[in-house]
Structure 1
Amino acid sequence: MNMLFWGLDPTYVLIILAFAVSAFFSARMNATFSKYSQVNAASGLTGAQAAQRILQSAGIYDVTIEHVSGKLTDHYDPSHKVLRLSQSVYGSTSIAAIGVAAHECGHAVQDARNYVPLKVRSAIVPVANFGSQLSWPLFLVGLIFSWKPLVTAGIVLFCGALIFQIVTLPVELNASGRALKMLNTTGILGDAEIKGTRRVLTAAAMTYVAAVIGSLLQLLRLLILSGGVRNRDD
């Protein structure tokens, strides 16, 4: 493979592009969340209180709400039926915090309603974790020693992690859609407030889209580099 830029692999351009896409949408998400974190909901409910009300309105009484450290580390754990809210969400009365809490409630509702994409995502978590940890080491060893089976194995494992990210997209979008609907039907937020919350959840959803784009660019790089191994063997 031809080398450009003082001997650097030209496929590094793909890495830079993937990083730029991720950084842009991450910054946009943080900026949007920060903006609407300054807007308090008229209801005066905290993220935890809003989550409790949403779960009860959905007939879900077996999910525990807990506080978790960190910023925007909010998540729903289906294996333990626990909804964990971060410091910036749990006790905050902002429409951003309530939106994030409602989004996690959306996942709890998905779980209670046996939403198929969520079940599929949960089932492939071990495969995705395995693939994300071993794909690059296997690929690099195969690349260094020009051993195509290892190169191929690395690409296949990376594809497993990519599939997980692709499956995650409809799960996250559906959770946000459920969140906005529940915030409206429960009266936790007014129409004007929901518009701001929608912007927060849309910005969050775009970070998942960016993750898929970044992984696709990395996969393209793997395929290009693997072509170099084939050429050396010919």
Structure 2
Amino acid sequence: MFPFFYDPTFILMIPAILLAIYAQGKVHRVFQKYDQYRARIGMTGAELARDILRSQGIHDVRVELVGGHMTDHYDPRNKVLRLSYDIYHGTSLAALGVAAHEAGHALQHFEGYTMLIWRNMIVPLAAIGSQAAFPLLFIGLLLGSQTLAELGVVVFMFAVLFQLITLPVEYNASNRALNILSGGGYITIEEEMPVKKVLHAAALTYVAATVMAMLQLIRLLMISGLLGRRNDS
């Protein structure tokens, strides 16, 4: 058991932390760059999102403005596509790429995309796992309860599973966005590469989150002693 004031397993998290910092920096740089490039079509992100939804036969999803920066998301429970100010009102290639990506999530929901259904189902368990894992683990270690410590590891697995499922969901939404934008004549051939760079930079943040979750799981397995016992057996 590792003492509470010294945790050598934290070194495992350094690569994930560095990747997360790099991913966030890249998203910021790429978005700032292509936010300066006005799209030829001249539509705002909100107009584009509504037009994509209509063209795909989706008429029950609202497009709304949401506060904050890079807070864009699709809410499947309320069927609302929420766009931040820069995306909602923006006419840049970056804004159109993000808006189309979120519209891709609405299309996934409309079509019953399996991975999105699984992700939505596991959200409550993932939230519990991310919040309760460490308290359960450390209370178990403090009280000498291996069962409680192992329960902390088990519930955290739901958070890891959520991240693993999120990756294909996000990449699929980006692919849908690119296909719709290029196939629907929203962007020119010359504009495709900048949009791809914006979407790929955003996707890297999900890769970083997945790596972070997986390394955190390995760390919890080590702290709880589960990994050591398996290796010894």
Pairwise TM-score range, normalised by the shorter structure: over 0.9
Answer with 222-231 or 192-201: which moved more: 222-231
**C-alpha RMSD of matched pairs (Å):** 1.8
Task: Assess if the C-alpha contact under 8 Å between 1:139 and 1:153 holds in 2.
Answer: yes
The within-5 A match list for 1:113-152 is 113-152=111-150
CA distance in 1, matches of 2:184, 2:128: 41
- Structure 2 letter corresponding to 1:200: V
- Structure 2 letter corresponding to 1:135: A
Unpaired runs of 5+ residues, structure 1, are none
Q: State the Cα deviation string for residues 95-126 of structure 1 (Å, max 9, x = none).
A: 00100000000001011111111111111111
- Structure 2 letter corresponding to 1:166: L
Unpaired runs of 5+ residues, structure 2, are none
Q: Secondary structure at the match of 1:93?
A: coil
CA distance in 1, matches of 2:33, 2:176: 23
Structure 1 residue 187, shift from structure 2 partner: 1.0
Match of 1:85 among 83, 86, 94: 83
Partner of 1:27: 25
Structure 1 residue 69, shift from structure 2 partner: 0.4
CA distance in 2, matches of 1:230, 1:193: 52
Match of 2:57 among 53, 56, 59: 59
- Give the TM-score taking structure 2 as reference length: 0.93
- Give the TM-score taking structure 1 as reference length: 0.93
CA distance in 1, matches of 2:138, 2:2: 18
Q: Secondary structure at the match of 2:81?
A: strand
Structure 1 residue 2, shift from structure 2 partner: 7.8
Match of 2:173 among 172, 175, 178: 175
Task: Assess if the C-alpha contact under 8 Å between 1:57 and 1:186 holds in 2.
Answer: no
Partner of 2:224: 226
Distance 1:230 1:145, change over 3 A: farther
Partner of 2:46: 48
Answer with 129-138 or 220-229: which moved more: 220-229
Task: Assess if the C-alpha contact under 8 Å between 1:165 and 1:211 holds in 2.
Answer: yes
Partner of 1:105: 103
Task: Assess if the C-alpha contact under 8 Å between 2:221 and 2:227 holds in 1.
Answer: no
CA distance in 2, matches of 1:143, 1:41: 56
List structure 1 segments (4+ residues) > 3 angstroms apart after TM superposition. Answer: 228-231
Q: State the Cα deviation string for residues 72-107 of structure 1 (Å, max 9, x = none).
A: 100001111100000110000010010000000000
Match of 2:195 among 194, 197, 200: 197
Partner of 1:73: 71
Corresponding position: 1:217 with 2:209:
no
Task: Assess if the C-alpha contact under 8 Å between 1:46 and 1:93 holds in 2.
Answer: yes
Distance 1:17 1:146, change over 3 A: farther
Aligned length: 228
